[in-house]
């Protein structure tokens, strides 16, 4: 018997369809389940079905929003009797990164939190890119914040614009030359609309910059002037007074004019901004794994520094002398009679 559902509140709109918070009440009276339900009309069925298929390939991947109902769409009817389709996802109680930042003074997040969130986004991108997809619309509205005891977990959501690597994005048009949300788009995406992995890394740079400054990238630029600036190779300004040195270098890599110079999501996880200048193991794919732990490899010590653990002296006693065991037989006394004395007489017949 299916659980009883109860509408709680409206959460927002995605690339298509609306998202609501719904409470699922099980018949066995166990704790209710709160889920974010994305609802689409019949004309958007193909788009929603495509999104849930992409999410099914990312099932169990860290930093990616997960779905319920075994990654299948629910069929239902709206209040007017029209058929609708629903995708049931895990609910982020802290909302999107946009609303989360709004709760901070000047929308600026603490530096340690920025590092953690950046690392989580990159972990998600490793999963997406290793499966041959580009998200194409990475922005704070599509990043969900999940409270985890005394910390937070960030996950990538809304794969409605996602495209296979190397393919033309459906949202790109001549009169609106942006693959996703304009202020987070890269120069090459504006130029030809081809989805490449480096596009997501430019968008990541815009998000990291926004977490430091509290301001949306290109906030000082008119919308009509944005595309020419991007085509001219310009990047958002990085204020030195707000962004620390290692973070600036990270952003300069994300904003590299040549997409190949932005490296990869796996490479950026090794950047000093995220690991404090210490080398770590490279992540090559985004499988379902326990929380990522950076493993530091230290070079062998070449100096004569002996400030290590105190030496322990182990005394080994000498072995007792070993003698060959010889079996002693009882002695036998042999008596040899004396020879008779030689005679000087000659016997004569």
In tens, the pLDDT along 55-81 reads 999 999 989 999 998 999 999 998 889
β-bridge pairing 151-156 and 143-148: antiparallel
Q: Could you tell me how many helices (H) and strands (E) the chain has, helices first?
A: 9, 9
Does the residue 337 lie in any domain? no
Domain-ending residue, one of 219, 244, 275:
275
What pLDDT digit, counting tens, does each position of 232-291 carry?
889 999 999 999 999 999 999 999 999 999 999 999 999 999 987 454 444 444 444 444
* Angle (nearest 5°) at CA 334 between 331 and 340: 160
Which CATH number do you get for residue 211?
Answer: 1.10.510.10
Question: Would you state the pLDDT for residue 112?
Answer: 96
Does the residue 24 lie in any domain? yes
Q: Both 133 and 248 in a single domain?
A: yes
Q: Both 151 and 68 in a single domain?
A: no
Does the residue 27 lie in any domain? yes
Q: Both 184 and 101 in a single domain?
A: yes
Question: Would you state the pLDDT for residue 155?
Answer: 98
Q: DSSP E strands: which ranges in 141-212?
A: 143-148, 151-156, 163-164
Say yes or no to pLDDT of 194 above 90.
no
Which CATH number do you get for residue 39?
Answer: 3.30.200.20
Query: How much is the average pLDDT of 133-162?
Result: 94
Query: How much is the average pLDDT of 8-33?
Result: 86
Say yes or no to pLDDT of 345 above 60.
no
Q: Both 105 and 9 in a single domain?
A: no
Q: Both 149 and 211 in a single domain?
A: yes
Tell me how far apart the alpha carbons of residues 208 and 109 are, in angstroms, rounded to a whole number: 10
Q: Both 271 and 214 in a single domain?
A: yes
Question: Would you state the pLDDT for residue 269?
Answer: 97
Question: Would you state the pLDDT for residue 158?
Answer: 93
- Domain of 16 in residue numbering reads as 4-90
Mean pLDDT of the chain: 82
Question: Would you state the pLDDT for residue 191?
Answer: 75
Q: Both 34 and 78 in a single domain?
A: yes
Does the residue 341 lie in any domain? no
Name the residue with higher pLDDT: 175 or 268.
268
* Angle (nearest 5°) at CA 51 between 48 and 55: 140
Tell me how far apart the alpha carbons of residues 214 and 208 are, in angstroms, rounded to a whole number: 10
Q: Both 138 and 10 in a single domain?
A: no
Please tell me the pTM assigned to this model.
Answer: 0.77
Domain-ending residue, one of 238, 260, 275:
275
As for how many domains the chain has, the answer is: 2
Coil/strand/helix, residue 90? strand
Q: Both 73 and 144 in a single domain?
A: no
* Set 44, 137, 141, 158: catalytic member: 137
Does the residue 327 lie in any domain? no
Does the residue 259 lie in any domain? yes
Does the residue 347 lie in any domain? no
Q: Both 35 and 122 in a single domain?
A: no
**Catalytic-residue membership of 137:** yes
Question: Would you state the pLDDT for residue 328?
Answer: 52
Domain-ending residue, one of 36, 60, 90:
90
Q: Both 156 and 260 in a single domain?
A: yes
What pLDDT digit, counting tens, does each position of 76-114 carry?
998 889 999 999 999 999 999 999 999 998 999 999 999
Name the residue with higher pLDDT: 191 or 15.
191
Does the residue 298 lie in any domain? no
Q: Both 56 and 194 in a single domain?
A: no
């Amino acid at each position: 018997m299916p659980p009883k559902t109860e509408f709680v509140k409206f959460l927002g709109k995605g690339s298509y369809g609306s998202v609501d918070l719904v409470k699922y009440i099980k018949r066995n009276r166990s704790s209710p389940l709160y889920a974010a339900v994305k609802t689409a009309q019949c004309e958007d069925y193909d788009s929603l079905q495509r999104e849930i298929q992409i999410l099914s390939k990312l099932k169990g991947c860290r930093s990616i929003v997960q779905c319920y109902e075994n990654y299948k769409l629910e069929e239902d009817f709206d209040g007017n009797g029209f058929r609708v389709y629903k995708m049931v996802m895990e609910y982020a109680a802290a909302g999107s990164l946009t609303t989360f930042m709004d709760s901070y003074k000047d929308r600026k997040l603490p530096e340690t939190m920025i590092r953690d969130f950046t690392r989580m986004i990159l972990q998600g991108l490793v999963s997406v890119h290793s499966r041959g997809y580009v998200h194409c619309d990475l922005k704070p509205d599509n990043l969900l914040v999940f409270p985890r005891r005394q910390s937070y977990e960030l996950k990538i959501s809304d794969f409605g614009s996602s495209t296979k690597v190397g393919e033309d994005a459906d949202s790109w048009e001549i009169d609106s030359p942006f693959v996703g949300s304009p202020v987070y788009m890269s120069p090459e995406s504006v130029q030809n609309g081809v989805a490449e992995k480096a596009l997501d890394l430019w968008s990541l740079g815009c998000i990291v910059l926004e977490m430091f400054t509290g301001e949306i990238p290109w906030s000082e630029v008119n919308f009509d002037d944005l595309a020419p600036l991007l085509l001219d190779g310009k990047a958002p300004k990085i204020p030195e007074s707000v962004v620390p040195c290692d973070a600036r270098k990270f952003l300069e890599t994300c904003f590299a004019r040549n997409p190949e110079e932005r490296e990869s999501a796996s490479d950026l996880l090794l950047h000093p901004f995220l690991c404090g200048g210490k080398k770590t193991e490279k992540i090559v794919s985004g499988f379902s794994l326990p929380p990522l732990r950076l493993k530091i490899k230290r070079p062998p010590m070449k100096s004569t520094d002996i400030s290590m653990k105190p030496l322990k002296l182990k005394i080994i006693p000498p072995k007792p002398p070993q003698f060959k065991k010889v079996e002693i037989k009882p002695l036998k006394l042999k008596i040899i009679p004396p020879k008779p004395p030689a005679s000087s007489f000659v016997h004569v017949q």
